[in-house]
Amino acid sequence: MPRLDPRLQTVARHIRCRTHVDIGSDHGHLLKALLASGRIERGIAVENKTQPHANSSETLAGYRAEVRFSDGLDGVAVGEAECLSICGMGGRSMTRILQTHPDRVPPTVILQPNCKPEFVRRWGLQAGYLLTDETFARGHWRYVVLRFQRSEAIFVTDGFCDPAYAGIDREAAILFGPRLIRDGSDELVDLLHEELGYLRSLDRLGNDRAGRLATIERLLGEMNISESPKDS
């Protein structure tokens, strides 16, 4: 992909459709690369700040793309696009955008949260979107790129039946990714060890952090991995 860093290259590999919406495009480089490579036919960049809107407008000039000034999905019509991406925001902000206009969310959603990916995993379970892929991408830090696909699965009381979560500790899967856990990559193990060391170094733990620590310890045990990085 032209002019994309490894993080956005990973995002772009998940996208191939006729019309794609990128919310918070910032500079428009993702849509430009997708259009130039023929992975999409038409792009829509959505910005809610003046300078990013100007940046994206300049980048996408001459391409089959629109740059709209609106907040999230406010300016996107129902059924207008087949795929949507949001990159570089926190998971909580992404979830707010997706929940504000659920009828406007396309069938395919690619998300790259900078933090709190558990929020978007919970959104997927609640909104009826299958988690079809999770990939680590390197950049300023370790990112995770998630791909969701709308499902017609039958809903149950605690969400719908996403096979990605089958046979995996639910809380651990929401925090760290069912597909990443199943893959058991060195990057996931490194992430778990880093957070384990950090949490254990704290003098006090609130309920959330204590629960997270217990989940990491339980997950490492289930993966049969030592809690000490040098022994793993």
State how far the alpha carbon of 124 is from the alpha carbons of 73, 104, 149, in Å: 17, 15, 9
The per-residue pLDDT for range 113-123, each reduced to its tens digit, is 999 999 999 99
The per-residue pLDDT for range 175-192, each reduced to its tens digit, is 999 999 999 999 999 999
Does residue 192 contact residue 219 with C-beta atoms inside 8 Å? yes
The pLDDT of residue 140 is: 78
Q: How far apart are CA 32 and CA 60, in angstroms?
A: 6
Name the pLDDT band for 157 (thresholds 50, 70, 90).
very low
- Asked if the model's pLDDT at residue 1 lies above 90, the reply is no
Region 133-159: mean pLDDT is 81
The pLDDT of residue 40 is: 98
Q: What is the 3-state secondary structure (H, E, C) of 99-126?
A: HHCHHHCCCEEEEEEEECHHHHHHHHHH
The per-residue pLDDT for range 9-57, each reduced to its tens digit, is 999 999 999 999 999 998 999 999 999 999 999 999 999 999 999 999 9
The pLDDT of residue 232 is: 46
CA dihedral 32, 54, 117, 21 (to 10 degrees): -50
> Average pLDDT of the chain?
92
The pLDDT of residue 198 is: 95
- Asked if the model's pLDDT at residue 228 lies above 90, the reply is no
Structural domains in the chain, CATH included, are: 6-151 (3.40.50.150), 154-225 (no CATH)
The per-residue pLDDT for range 87-141, each reduced to its tens digit, is 999 999 999 999 999 999 999 999 999 999 999 999 999 999 999 999 999 877 8
CA dihedral 122, 160, 150, 97 (to 10 degrees): -30
Q: How far apart are CA 86 and CA 109, in angstroms?
A: 8
- For residue 153, give both structure tokens: 């699965």
Point out the least confidently predicted range of 13-27, 79-93, 160-174. Answer: 160-174
The pLDDT of residue 134 is: 97
